[in-house]
Amino acid sequence: MDFTIREAVVGDWQDAGQICYDAFKTVSGEHGFPPDFPSVEAAALPLKWMIEHPRFYGAVAVRNGKVIGSIFMDERSSISAIGPITVQPGEQNAGVGKALMKAAMEHADMRGAISIRLLQLSFHNRSLSLYAKLGFDIRGAYGAMYGKPLGRRMPGYDVRVATPADEAACNALSVKVHGHERPGEVHEAIESGDARVVERLGRITAYTRASTTSPTPWPRRATTSRPSSARRGASARPASWSRCATATCSGGAWPRA
């Protein structure tokens, strides 16, 4: 291959951010969806935060001294989480994404991660095919919802800012819903004030957090003790039904190249 893969450094964040914005905007536009990021800055600043974070892994693909793609992986849990991975639109379909994925998977293997998870746009069949070839299995489907929250309150459900005293309950809820804890993510979200919990009858029944801490908007994820109908029916729906699919690769399924 005529490009190299190296670990990301702080000086890469602007180039990687531009590519991230262009790549997501292009594929979303091709399928009639709004872009995931409203601006280049909104895509780039979270990447800068991840490069500087000691518990994130980042790598870039470089050709002739120019960054043409990047990948980032959250290592704050025993299960690593990949995302985002993006390749400059003009450089796609040339093995760059596969090389970036292999670099991240090898890094996760070296640190002893028990598996890897990721979310991907289900309408992007090319990347879905790549993940399948690399040993990932589809575990569920999720919908991306946009708009202003209604701001309504439900009697008996108290939504409030999470406190350090809620950390154990949030991790227990994550194990119940996802099968594993997310201690690093939960701890940092509570510490930064980004986490919210739902308390009912003195018990934490749901929590939500920002995916990362940055000065720009970032999608939020929610964990609830009652799986939604979307999750229960995901296996019976076509891939195009939901905007996002989650895939998991266990350590034993990682390819050895």
The residue behind tokens 């800055």 is 41
8 Å CB contact between 68 and 3 = yes
86-128 pLDDT tens trace = 999 999 988 999 999 999 999 999 999 989 988 888 788 888 8
The dihedral built from the CA positions of residue 146, 150, 154 and 158, taken in this order, carries a sign that is positive
* Beta-carbon contacts of residue 150 (< 8 Å; ≥ 6 apart): none
Query: Within the chain, which residues score under 50 in pLDDT?
Result: 212-221, 224-257
Closest CA to 57 of 79, 78, 77, 75: 75
8 Å CB contact between 8 and 51 = yes
Residue 210's pLDDT is 62
Residue 139's pLDDT is 81
8 Å CB contact between 43 and 34 = no
Full-model pTM:
0.78
Distances from the Cα of 191 to the Cα of 40, 167, 173, 195, 243, angstroms: 28, 10, 18, 8, 31
DSSP assigned state of 216: S
What's the token pair of residue 234? 């995901």
Query: For residues 127 and 41, what is the distance between their CA atoms, to the nearest angstrom?
Result: 24
Query: For residues 107 and 72, what is the distance between their CA atoms, to the nearest angstrom?
Result: 11
Residue 120's pLDDT is 82
Distances from the Cα of 23 to the Cα of 90, 151, 169, 228, angstroms: 9, 33, 38, 30
